[in-house]
Structure 1
Amino acid sequence: MILIGQYDSPFVRRVAVALHVYGIAYEHRPWSVFSDAADIARFNPLKRVPTFVLEDGEVLIESGAILDHLDEVAGADRALIARQGPERRRALKLCALATGLADKAVSLVYERVLHKERSDLWVERCTGQIGAVLDMLESDRAAASGPWWFGDRIGHADIAAGCALRFLGEAHPHVFDRARWPALAVHADACEAMTEFQAVTQAFSVSA
């Protein structure tokens, strides 16, 4: 199996962390959506990452679809999300919030480096959305009684949030105030202390 994309992407890293937690071997091709777009297009016409190539050549796109497949490979007892019910729905909501936050952070990067004229209205909108999501995640994470969101075992919600927070902190260090969101700061540190996270670390770079 092949994971395409660089680890400074919170979406690629999310998949890579899950692969390491599951102990699933894979080949990594750290292709950039800019400089390696033609190579990515051979597998994904959207030229987006993560793109995941299965052993039989089938190609999966989007982190959610890739993780759904990995959960199936790992088996229900090892899956990093509840199989059904309120806990699954809550975890999926947390994942959507975290990945949505990451998407807004990426949009701010593009606004900064790709556009000649900055749209202050768009920057304000994205920054406001990020802050609102952080407020919601902070409240929810602070209310969790265990070391992770759903108890003693890390799950997809934890990983998605950890990867989003790492990206936000590196790409927009002025936006993520650790004093304002202390529970999330502790969560981010706990994630980065894990060998599974450390194995797939790449400093954020706009030029990559």
Structure 2
Amino acid sequence: MKLIGMLDSPYVRRVAVSLQLMGLHFEHHNLSVFRTFKEFSAINPVVKAPTLVCDDGEVLMDSSLILDYAEALAEPARRLMPAQLPERQHALHRIGLALAVCEKSVQIIYEHDLRPREKWHAPWLDRVTTQLHAAARLLDDAVGRHPFAAAHIDQAGVSTAIAWHFVQRTLPEVLPAAAFPALAAWSDQAETLPAFRAAPHGDGLVAAAPGA
């Protein structure tokens, strides 16, 4: 399998970390949807990151869909989604909040980076920022009810840690760490795990994590 996309995307990094935790081998190609648009489009004309090229050449996109496929490939003991209710429901609740943090953060970043400041749409930014704060508050509360356990980190834990780390690398002034202590502590602990260290936020390539 080939994972296409940059690790500065929380969606690409979510897949990269998860595939390693599930023990699934893949090659990482760190193509940018902006700087290497033409090269990316030759692999996936939609130019959407993450893109996963399966072993038979079929292309998958969207991190949640890619991870659903990965769950089917992984050995049962290494799958990251709880199989039974209510644990699966709780995991989906937290994943939804983590993905909302990612989505709203990216919307703010795009507004800031792709438009001149005089063309920023203040009502839109206010709305998205309010949504981002709501998702982070709910996620911080949910994380506070689930103590960190490195040996049993699931997809909710992965997505939570990566969402928080992303927003702290990109918009720390919007979500101050001191205001979300449970999220900050969770992310700090997750970032020490080999699968996270092997796929650090940025423009580098995934390195093989020990035991992956």
TM-score by length of 1: 0.91
| 2:143 aligned partner | 141
| 1:107 aligned partner | 107
Query: Helix, strand or coil for the counterpart of 1:90?
Result: helix
| 2:207 aligned partner | none
Question: Aligned partners of 1:58, 1:89: CA distance in 2, in Å?
Answer: 30
Question: Aligned partners of 1:130, 1:63: CA distance in 2, in Å?
Answer: 20
TM-score by length of 2: 0.89
- How many residues align? The count is 201
Shift, 1:83, TM fit: 1.6
Question: Whose RCO is larger (CA < 8 A, sep 6+)?
Answer: 2
Shift, 1:121, TM fit: 1.0
| 1:29 aligned partner | 29
Which stretch of structure 1 is more off in the superposition, 40-49 or 2-11? 40-49
Question: Aligned partners of 1:143, 1:95: CA distance in 2, in Å?
Answer: 15
Q: What are the ranges of 5 or more consecutive residues in structure 2 without an aligned counterpart? A: 204-212
Residues 64-108 of structure 1, C-alpha deviations (whole Å, 9 max, x = no match): 111111111113332101123221122122112111210111111
| 2:85 aligned partner | 85
Q: What are the ranges of 5 or more consecutive residues in structure 1 without an aligned counterpart? A: none
Contact 1:5 1:12 in 2 (8 A): yes
Question: Aligned partners of 1:201, 1:173: CA distance in 2, in Å?
Answer: 18
Question: Aligned partners of 1:84, 1:61: CA distance in 2, in Å?
Answer: 26
CA RMSD of aligned residues (A): 1.6
| 1:75 aligned partner | 75
Shift, 1:138, TM fit: 1.0
How much identity, in percent, do the aligned residues show? 35
Specify the code of the residue in structure 2 equivalent to 1:13: R
Of 109, 124, 127, which residue of structure 2 is paired with 1:125?
A: 127
